[in-house]
């Protein structure tokens, strides 16, 4: 690490007291490998033994590594926390612009502690942290809240907006944090931890420059990494078809999760393959900041208005291997039965790859149920996964 590298800066934020400070932690970044190692060490320092995952003592740690914002492909932020889903270590990774924005804002890690008494969002940039009132955003989905914040925050440079939807607010244990609309900190309930702290969103803006010791050598290595990435057949398949490319080969060799893992092949796999999605629905491709692969694939779906003939709403829905199997093959359902549902799930901030495979545990043939305990409540197919006013989540068993 160079002496003037801002990677050593750790930003500490206390939501309870609404204060912040920056500490130089060269010891961490020189001892541990990358953002994951540093985040793990910070969690060990800041998380009290036996703390409540939804209590104010549970810290949220974001960290990036030394290659972030310097070389291609190093575009992930790691989040560490105590998981409300498992009660154990929570580790989640997200792309988008989050990692590069944190690095360009002058930090290697961010530690968030305490809990606010009212909804807030944090605006980080220009060596300052602002605690903004988020009362008017509370109750919004992450698409709408992200748009409002984007219009009201004028920070210059590269910017990320990490926010939660209604699932995080209602402390759903597998709620996500969404970044740049189509990327997520998923799996282990970081969104619920945000919600428990009344933290609606974090905006990070950065425009600093990063030091290199030898610009000529740096450029040479950068070009080598870039060319290796764009010329790799492994990377090319993700650029062309996205992670949905995995559906066909997994189905062919018997590794596609189907009907609550009772089967490993799905008879309708060709209709939900990466090739089919690209041919029939692909609307655009996106890439995470500093990544040349562009594996984010967005489907353009036309949904007719119920009361207007020949009028359609076009929705842009991100599709990946995980939600395709979670909402599709795992429940024995084809895409035509589920299109548009993934967008509603993401809007609420739920992790379809975590929560929806669990629907397969329902007793086949007994109809939908309201998933908490053994209580059952008949509901329409369209309510699957929506959040009831009680905070419970509508579920359905596999057919």
Give the domain CATH number at 29.
3.60.9.10
Same domain, 258 and 202: no
**pLDDT on residue 349:** 57
Same domain, 365 and 259: yes
Q: Is 388 helix (H, G, I), strand (E, B) or coil?
A: coil
Tens digit of each residue's pLDDT (9 = 90 or more) over 126-162: 899 999 999 999 999 988 999 999 999 876 568 999 9
The CA–CA distances, whole Å, from 98 to 133, 183, 185 equal: 22, 10, 11
Same domain, 200 and 243: no
Residue that is written with structure tokens 């548009």 in the block: 340
Same domain, 190 and 294: no
Final residue belonging to a domain, choices 149, 171, 206: 206
Please indicate, yes or no, if residue 260 is contained in any of the structural domains: yes
**Residue 64 parent element (H or E):** none
First to last CA, the chain: 55
CATH code for position 261? 1.10.569.10
Same domain, 250 and 144: no
Please indicate, yes or no, if residue 22 is contained in any of the structural domains: yes
Task: Give the E-state strand segments of 135-223 in sequence order.
Answer: 158-163, 177-179, 183-185, 199-206
Please indicate, yes or no, if residue 125 is contained in any of the structural domains: yes
Q: Give me 45's structure tokens.
A: 């320092």
State the pTM of this model: 0.86
Please indicate, yes or no, if residue 146 is contained in any of the structural domains: yes
**Residue in 98, 121, 12, 122 with CA at minimum distance from that of residue 60:** 12
Rounded Cα distance, 16 and 126, in Å: 22
**pLDDT on residue 274:** 92
Please indicate, yes or no, if residue 119 is contained in any of the structural domains: yes
Same domain, 33 and 123: yes
For the chain, how many structural domains are there in total?
2
Same domain, 199 and 258: no
pLDDT exceeding 70 applies to what percent of the chain? 83
Tens digit of each residue's pLDDT (9 = 90 or more) over 287-329: 999 999 999 999 998 888 888 888 988 888 888 998 888 888 9
Question: What secondary structure letter does DSSP report for 397?
Answer: -
| Residue 111 pLDDT > 50 | yes
CB 72 within 8 A of CB 13: no
Provide the CA 276 distance to its chain's centre, in angstroms.
25
Tens digit of each residue's pLDDT (9 = 90 or more) over 361-398: 553 433 333 333 333 333 333 444 455 544 444 443 33
Q: Could you tell me if residue 181 is left (phi over 0), alpha (psi between -120 and 50 degrees) or otherwise beta?
A: left
Tens digit of each residue's pLDDT (9 = 90 or more) over 3-40: 788 999 999 999 999 999 999 999 999 999 889 999 99
Rounded Cα distance, 209 and 257, in Å: 45
Please indicate, yes or no, if residue 223 is contained in any of the structural domains: no
Same domain, 106 and 68: yes
Tens digit of each residue's pLDDT (9 = 90 or more) over 239-289: 999 999 999 999 999 999 999 899 999 999 998 999 999 999 999 999 999
Provide the CA 338 distance to its chain's centre, in angstroms.
21
Same domain, 253 and 198: no
For helices 215-230 and 233-241, the axis angle rounded to 10 degrees is: 70
Same domain, 52 and 188: yes
Please indicate, yes or no, if residue 79 is contained in any of the structural domains: yes
Same domain, 188 and 313: no
Q: Which domain holds residue 342?
A: 232-395
Cα dihedral 89, 69, 105, 135 sign: negative
Please indicate, yes or no, if residue 219 is contained in any of the structural domains: no
Final residue belonging to a domain, choices 150, 171, 206: 206
Same domain, 199 and 263: no
The CA–CA distances, whole Å, from 239 to 97, 233, 292 equal: 18, 10, 9
């Amino acid at each position: 690490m160079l002496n003037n590298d801002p990677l050593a800066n750790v930003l500490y934020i206390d939501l309870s007291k609404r204060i912040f400070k920056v500490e130089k932690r060269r010891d961490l970044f020189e001892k541990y490998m990358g953002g994951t190692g540093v985040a793990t060490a910070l969690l060990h320092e800041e998380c009290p033994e036996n703390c409540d995952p939804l209590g104010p003592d549970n810290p949220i740690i974001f960290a990036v590594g030394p290659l972030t914002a310097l070389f291609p492909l190093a575009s992930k932020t790691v989040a560490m926390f105590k998981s409300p889903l498992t009660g154990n270590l929570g580790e989640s990774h997200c792309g988008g612009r989050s990692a590069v924005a944190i690095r360009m804002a002058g930090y290697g890690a961010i530690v968030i502690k305490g809990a606010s008494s009212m909804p807030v969002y944090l605006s980080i940039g220009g060596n300052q942290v602002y605690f903004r009132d988020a009362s008017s955003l509370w109750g919004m989905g992450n698409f709408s809240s992200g748009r409002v914040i984007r219009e009201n925050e004028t920070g210059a440079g590269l910017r990320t907006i990490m926010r939660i939807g209604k699932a995080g607010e209602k402390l759903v244990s597998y709620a996500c944090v969404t970044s740049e609309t189509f990327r997520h900190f998923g799996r282990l309930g970081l969104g619920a931890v945000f919600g428990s702290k009344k933290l609606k969103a974090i905006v990070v803006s950065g425009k600093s420059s990063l030091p290199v010791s030898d610009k000529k050598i740096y450029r040479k290595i950068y070009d080598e990494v870039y060319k290796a990435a764009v010329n790799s057949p492994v990377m090319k398949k993700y650029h062309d078809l996205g992670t949905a490319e995995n559906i066909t080969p997994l189905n062919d060799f018997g590794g596609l999760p189907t009907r609550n893992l009772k089967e490993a092949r799905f008879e309708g796999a060709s209709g939900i393959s990466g090739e089919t999605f690209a041919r029939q629905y692909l609307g655009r491709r996106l890439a995470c900041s500093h990544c040349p692969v562009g594996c984010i694939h967005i489907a353009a779906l036309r949904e007719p208005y119920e009361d207007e003939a020949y009028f359609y709403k076009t929705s842009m829905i991100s599709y990946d291997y995980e939600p395709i199997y979670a909402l599709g093959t795992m429940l024995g359902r084809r895409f035509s039965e589920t299109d548009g549902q993934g967008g509603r799930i993401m809007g609420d901030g739920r992790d379809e790859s975590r929560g929806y495979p669990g629907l397969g545990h329902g007793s086949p043939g007994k109809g939908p149920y309201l998933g908490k305990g053994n209580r059952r409540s008949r509901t329409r197919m369209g309510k699957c996964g929506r959040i009831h006013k009680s905070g419970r989540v509508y579920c359905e068993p596999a057919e």
